[in-house]
């Protein structure tokens, strides 16, 4: 009988090293794809910031006549920043904060010079002034930052408003570039955020339905946890829709997209309610599993219908003509769930059915239906499906 040769320690080490190298290469490829995707996503922002910085310098030097307008491009960069949530109010806060910090620092540094104590005093007074003027967090933060720059990089030996003027000029150029010359595509921004929410919500409902069918407690808990974690994606949708409407309001190039963006804004409100109802639904499913209550197959099918409705919502938000593909499964879910009570009326099932109906109503409202009309459609769907 021949024995199977055992791998030598060197052979095991080589295989382990090769496996680690392969895993590292896969992670590197994944990271490279993620970085490239982020670069594409922020390409417009990079172009905006570069154009605004150059434009601020030209405005401060050639139009205003300042020789070294250091704070003009700095203010433009600060106001725009590499971020997607650039609401006009926040940008104005940043610009005003930069200008205020400059003024406070100029007054103190010219009088007392640059020392650790004066730097602390400059920052404290700039923040105090910003708060006293009712500034929000961004206003206060930018006031402190710009005051520190002036305190550590003094450019003159006397008080002057030139640097504050440069900051306002840079902020004005940034706003012009961000909203007029090179605005973001607000619909793409809102659509991307909506897809993130709806894809996860639809997948969650599919998994919840499967977990209810299999009576898999761990899977139900996982669905509940995922439902609770949707707040971040929903907040991103709400911010994207709000920012998109601002861009469409101020930018002549984007004004015709207001109708679509208003649908996304209104949908975000109703999706918040739908997500809350799905959480309650998941808690009801967990209760049913724990109590070993019967959940009829029709209820499971209704949850899958809700998932189908959610998956059809992105197309309907872009084009109302596609609404029936999302409306029909929502109504079917409400009808199936309601009829299931005729065969099973335990408390767990009743609670799940109530949330299915409420979620279906929320999805109809996402599609633009008024509350009373949506409720009437849900009742009518149940009546139509009832035999006899």
Final residue before a domain boundary, out of 154, 181, 208: 181
Domain assignment present for 19: no
Q: For residue 316, give both structure tokens.
A: 């309907």
Q: Which of 34, 35, 53, 33 is nearest to 45 (CA)?
A: 53
Collapse the DSSP code of 76 into the 3-class scheme (helix H, G, I; strand E, B; otherwise coil) and give the result. helix
Do both 336 and 272 map to the same domain?
yes
Domain count, the chain: 2
107 with 246, same domain: the answer is no
251 in helix, strand or coil?
coil
Q: Residue 87 corresponds to which tokens in the numbers above?
A: 């609401």
Neighbours of 312 (CB within 10 A): 23
C-beta separation of 90 from 208 below 8 A? no
And the tokens for 80?
A: 């725009």
Regarding whether 176 and 276 lie in a shared domain, the answer is no
**Chain-centroid distance, C-alpha 182:** 22
- Residues 165, 248, single domain; the answer is no
* 4 within a domain of the structure (yes/no): no
Closest of 358, 361, 359, 354 to residue 377, by C-alpha: 361
Cβ neighbourhood burial of 37 (10 Å; 0-12, 13-18, 19+): exposed
> Is residue 288 assigned to a domain?
yes
Q: Are 59 and 71 in contact (CB under 8 A)?
A: no
The CA-atom distances, in angstroms, between 205 and each of 198, 264, 307, 337 are 10, 21, 5, 15
pLDDT (tens place) for every residue of the chain, 388 residues total: 445 455 455 555 566 656 656 665 565 555 777 777 777 777 878 888 889 889 999 999 999 998 888 888 888 887 776 444 455 566 666 667 777 777 777 777 777 777 788 888 888 887 887 787 666 676 677 677 777 777 776 556 666 778 888 888 888 888 888 777 777 888 988 999 999 999 999 999 999 999 999 999 999 999 999 999 999 999 999 988 988 888 888 888 788 888 899 999 999 999 999 999 999 999 999 999 999 998 999 999 999 999 999 999 999 999 999 999 999 999 999 999 988 887 776 888 899 999 999 999 999 999 999 999 999 999 888 777 666 5
Looking at 149, 181, 213, the residue that finishes a domain is: 181
305 and 166 inside one domain: no
> Looking at residue 353, which CATH number applies to its domain?
1.20.58.220
Residues 197 and 137 in one domain: no
Of 124, 150, 181, which residue sits at a domain end?
181
Q: Which residue has the tokens 């306002």?
A: 168
């Amino acid at each position: 009988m021949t024995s199977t040769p055992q791998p030598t320690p060197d052979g095991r080490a080589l295989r382990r090293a090769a496996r680690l190298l392969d895993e590292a290469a896969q992670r590197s490829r994944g990271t490279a794809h993620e970085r490239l995707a982020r670069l594409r996503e922020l390409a417009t922002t990079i172009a905006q910031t570069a154009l605004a910085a150059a434009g601020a310098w030209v405005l401060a030097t050639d139009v205003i006549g300042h020789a070294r307008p250091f704070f003009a491009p700095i203010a433009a960069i600060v106001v725009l920043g590499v971020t997607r949530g650039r609401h006009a109010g926040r940008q104005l806060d940043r610009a005003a904060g930069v200008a205020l910090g400059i003024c406070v620092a100029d007054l103190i540094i010219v009088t007392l010079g640059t020392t650790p104590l004066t730097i602390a005093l400059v920052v404290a007074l700039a923040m105090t002034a910003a708060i006293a003027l009712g500034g929000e967090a961004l206003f206060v933060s930018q006031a402190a930052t710009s005051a520190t720059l002036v305190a550590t990089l003094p450019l003159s030996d006397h008080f002057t408003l030139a640097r504050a003027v440069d900051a306002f000029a840079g902020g004005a150029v940034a706003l012009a570039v961000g909203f007029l010359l090179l605005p973001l595509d607000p619909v793409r921004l809102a659509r991307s955020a909506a897809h993130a929410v709806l894809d996860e919500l639809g997948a969650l409902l599919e998994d919840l339905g499967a977990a209810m069918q299999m009576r898999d407690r761990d899977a139900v808990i996982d669905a509940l946890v995922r439902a609770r974690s949707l707040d971040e994606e929903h907040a991103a949708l709400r911010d994207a829709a709000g920012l998109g409407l601002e861009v469409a309001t101020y930018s002549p190039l984007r004004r015709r997209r207001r109708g679509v963006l208003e649908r996304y804004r209104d949908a975000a409100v109703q999706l918040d309610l739908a997500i809350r109802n799905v959480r309650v639904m998941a808690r009801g499913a967990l209760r049913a599993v724990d109590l070993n209550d019967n959940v009829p197959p029709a209820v499971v099918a209704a949850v899958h219908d809700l998932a189908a409705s959610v998956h059809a919502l992105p197309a309907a938000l872009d084009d109302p003509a596609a609404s029936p593909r999302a409306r029909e499964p929502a109504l079917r879910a409400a009808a199936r769930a309601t009829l299931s009570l005729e065969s099973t009326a335990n408390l767990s099932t009743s609670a799940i059915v109530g949330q299915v109906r409420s979620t279906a109503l929320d999805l109809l409202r996402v599609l633009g239906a008024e509350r009373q009309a949506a409720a009437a459609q849900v009742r009518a769907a149940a009546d139509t499906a009832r035999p006899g």
